Structures are given as structure tokens and as C-alpha cells.
A and B are shown apart, each in its own frame.
Chain A
């Protein structure tokens, strides 16, 4: 895994033109601002929909509120588009950051959870005349969705507090959470 991480860092570091823009006075703050605006759109759409699945504001048809999801997807697209430049500019600060590992884990899990909703519950909850109360499985998915996105936000906020330092003499673990010595590292 460490070798894969080192390869990722080398590959991302190759995007020098992105890094050049990000290192201007406005590059980083502009990307952060877009990231946060995207986050607001994402939370506004996903959290409201999840709360509705859990029984909040039951008089709103679930299918009607589902029309808000494209706003959430637009928000997600903004966060991804503004997030990738961070990764390309300071790859080692993310690839070796334990908080980033958790953020990615939560994000992928949230994606799979959303997929599970569309496979198992979408038709039953959004069809015309569907009951106001969502089935139990959809509620479980909603709780997972709220928890996972909250995890993404918290892990994202904690990134800066878990910046990786150079690895000690014991070297990196199975997944590096410190900066490996590129010249002296021996793969396990």
C-alpha cells in the first residue's frame, strides 16, 4: 500500500500547472470557498432528503423532495472539482494523512449507500401514491447517509490537524500515515 501511496504522490505532483495556479495569492482561498459553497448545496439537499425519509415533514411527498437531489449532486461536483486541485498541489499532505483516508472511506461508503437506496428503495418511496412513511430499509439507509456525510465533513475539517510528519526509524505502517523516506524506504 505504501508503494501505491508513493506512486500516487509522484503522479499527482506531476500536475505542475494546477499547482502553479493554486499557489497564486487567490488560488487556494478561491478553491476553498467553492469547496464550502458546494458543501452547503450538498448538505442542504442530502440532509433534507434523509430527514424526510426518517419521517420529518411527512406531508412532503418523498418523490417531490427528491427533485432537490440534483442540487446536491451539483454541490458534490463543486466540492470534487475544487477538492482535486488541493490534492494535486500538496499530494503528500493528503495521501499520507489519516484524516484524508477516513474522509475518502466515508465518501465512498456514502456513495455505495446512495446506490443501495436507488437499488432497493427509490421506486417504492418515490412512485406516485407511495406511502408517506418510508420503509424501514430506506430509514436505515437515511441514518447511514447522515452519519457518513457527517463523517466526511468532520474528517475534512480535521485534515489540517493530522498533517503527516516524516516517518520515524520504524518506517511507515501498512498504510503510510507519515512521510516516507523516498530514498531509504524498503517496501514490506
Chain B
């Protein structure tokens, strides 16, 4: 979780201008670390899901978490694409795109904060642990 979300946070920080001296294209190299974290999360998440499928599937918060992760990953692709473009030079076009980049970075941060929150709340909002037939 820390690896996947952490790299997204670093990318968002770059788009927001907090680490301006970091070459944006180079920051994308940490993408492999993000994917490593993502697949570790996915593999362990699938095992947890297989252990208690009813607990997850009967909880609306689970669907919220999955949706936020999906949106977060989509935003990661967009941020990654954004960081590859022309090194965020202070050209007129870049200045025009500044607002969009800020929105993208903030959306990503909020999305991951929401996914972490939903994930943590799963333990407190489960209504059924096992299916009864």
C-alpha cells in the first residue's frame, strides 16, 4: 500500500510543484515500484477476499474501495502521461495546463486517501462474515 500510494503521492507532489528540481520524466522510473506495490496489494487482497468473500461482497464499502482504486490507477496513468510531456517547461502551453495538472494531482491524492479510508473502514462496516444458505 505504501509503495503504490507513495509513488502516486510523489508524482502528485511533482505536478503540484513541491519538488520542482526533480526531472518529471525521471520520476516516472518509480512507476515500476508503484506496480510492484500494486501487485503485492492485489495478490494479498485476493487471498483475503477468498478467505471471506461474503464479508466483502455484502459490504457497500468494498465496492467503494474498488472503485476508488480503479479511478486512482486511471489517474496514475494520466499523471504518468503528464509527467512525460515536455518536462513541465514554463511555456505558455504549460502555464495554461497548470490548472488541469493541479486538479489531476489533487484528485489523485483525494482518491487514494479515500481508498485507504474505505479499506480501513471495511473491518468496521462488515454486516455478514459468512454466507448462510
Interface residues of A (CB under 8 A from B): 29, 32-33, 36-37, 39-45, 47-48, 51, 56-57, 59-61, 63-65, 67-68, 71, 153
Contact = CB atoms under 8 A, between A and B. Distances in A.
26 contacts: A29-B120, A29-B121, A36-B116, A36-B120, A40-B1, A40-B2, A40-B5, A40-B6, A44-B2, A44-B8, A44-B9, A45-B10, A47-B2, A48-B30, A48-B33, A56-B29, A57-B26, A60-B23, A60-B26, A60-B27, A61-B21, A61-B22, A65-B22, A67-B21, A71-B9, A71-B13
B62 interface: no
Contacts of A33: 116-117, 120-121
Q: Main secondary structure on chain A at its contact with chain B? A: helix
Contacts of B3: 43, 47
A105 to B, nearest CB: 20
Given A60-B27, A68-B10, A68-B19, A51 B121 contact: no
A33 B9 CA distance: 17
B76 interface: no
B27 A57 contact: yes
A39 B22 contact: no
A29 B112 contact: no
Interface residues of B, number: 30
Contact of B21 (A39, A47, A63, A153): A63
Contacts of A47: 2-3, 6, 33
Contact of A43 (B6, B13, B19): B6
A50 to B, nearest CB: 11
A64 B9 CA distance: 16
B10 A60 contact: no
B18 interface: yes
Nearest to A70: B18
A44 B29 contact: no
Nearest to A68: B19
Given A44-B10, A45-B10, A153 B2 contact: yes
Nearest to A150: B2
Contact of A71 (B18, B23, B26, B113): B18
A45 B20 CA distance: 15
Given A37-B116, A57-B26, A64-B21, 9 more contacts: A29-B123, A39-B2, A40-B116, A56-B29, A56-B30, A60-B29, A64-B23, A68-B13, A71-B13
